[in-house]
Amino acid sequence: MPTISDLLESLRRGDHRALGRAITWMENGHPGARDLMAKVWPHLGRASVIGITGSPGAGKSTLTDQVARALRAEGQRIGILAVDPTSPFSGGAILGDRIRMQRIAADPGIFIRSMATRGALGGLARATQDAIDLLDAAGFDTIIVETVGVGQDEVDVVSCVQTCCVVLVPGMGDEIQAIKAGIMEVADLFIINKSDREGADQVEREIEAMKSLATVRDWDPPVLRTIAQAGEGVQELLAQVRNHGAWLRSHGGLARKAKERARLRFESLLAEAAVRRAKALAGPERVAAAIQGITDRTLDPYSAVQGILGEV
């Protein structure tokens, strides 16, 4: 096992294995995780962070790969975090994911990691935030966070990236395309992908109608068209991302997003730590007795929790 300073040194050099290990440390709550984060913390904030979100089947992965390739061609080093609380049930899709990773992994200038931590409260959002910071510390220029726009965790994650792109496709129908309202509200850019399909105009009209209903924001999110499979519209997308970045800098948006991100990190870490602390103070016997009492209906859950926290 490497020491924290070994890991830190390899990480700062951009070593992929060290980066992978450091992310795993953060995910698993390794004893060295806190120290590692404390050590990299003062040096962060250099990387650009782009969010790409949308329904399954919208072509997010292909679009992400195209954006990564275009930025790579400019000499940037790119980190990709594929955040997916859903996990496809067919072996085929998982295989496709692996092939994608292997193909990308051949380029030392691109680091890709699938984030699918489960279980811990706020676990996925927290682990993704940690991974963004570690990629930043490792000197990656742009970090792309790709996510299915469904859970609250994901809204939290994309709400504090620099530029949040929401990807839609023609002809999928309202219900399938349903995106969490929270994500629509934080969209900085709408992308109609597979825009050579019939129905692109209708999707655009729907987006405009939805925008007209939403709270007025200082930034009016533009609507772009792409055909990710063919690489069409990718340069325009990047131009709009830069345009939005410039707007953020001139309107105090970066500071606002940094504060929002700090708040999110604080909240999710506090929840994890407060529960751990409360359980440790109560001890496993009292926790088990409380759960048994709820099961037997001799104790209601609200009173059980007050009983556990009462002496904390």
Residues 177-196 that bind a second copy (CB under 8 A): 177-182, 184
Question: Which residues from 25-64 bind a second copy, rule CB under 8 A?
Answer: 33-34, 37-38, 41-42, 44-45, 55-57
Residue 70 CB, shortest distance to a second copy, in Å, is 23
Q: Which of 70, 210, 243, 286 binds a second copy (CB under 8 A)?
A: 210
Q: Which residues contact 190 (CB under 8 A, 6 or more apart)?
A: 165, 166, 168, 207, 221, 222, 223, 224
Nearer to a second copy, 99 or 181 (CB): 181
| Contacting a second copy within 148-167 (CB under 8 A) | 148-153
For β-strands 78-83 and 110-115, DSSP reports them as parallel
Integer Cα distance of 254 and 46 in angstroms: 12
- Provide the mask over 103-142, with x wherever binding to a second copy is found by CB under 8 A and - wherever it is not: ---------------xx-xx-x------------------
Residue 265 touching a second copy (CB under 8 A): yes
Q: Could you tell me which stretch among 15-23, 203-211, 216-224, 239-247 binds a second copy (CB under 8 A)?
A: 203-211
Cα–chain center distance at 105: 20
- What distance in Å separates the CA atoms of residue 139 and residue 130, rounded to the nearest whole number? 15
Residues 214-253 close enough to bind a second copy by CB under 8 A: none
Minimum CB separation from a second copy for residue 43, in Å? 8
By CB under 8 A, the residues from 66 to 95 that bind a second copy are: 85-93
Helix (H) or strand (E) holding 307, with range, is helix 301-310
Which of 239, 273 has the CB closer to a second copy?
Answer: 273
Please provide the DSSP assignment of 168-198 as one string: E-TTS-HHHH---HHHHHH-SEEEE-STTST
Strand duo 189-192 + 78-83: pairing: unpaired
Task: State which of residues 105, 270, 280, 283 lies at the interface with a second copy (CB under 8 A).
Answer: 270
Q: Do β-strands 163-168 and 78-83 pair in parallel, antiparallel, or remain unpaired?
A: unpaired
CB of 271 to a second copy, least distance (A): 5
Which run of H or of E encompasses 62? Answer: helix 60-73
Which C-beta is closer to a second copy: that of 172 or that of 241?
A: 172
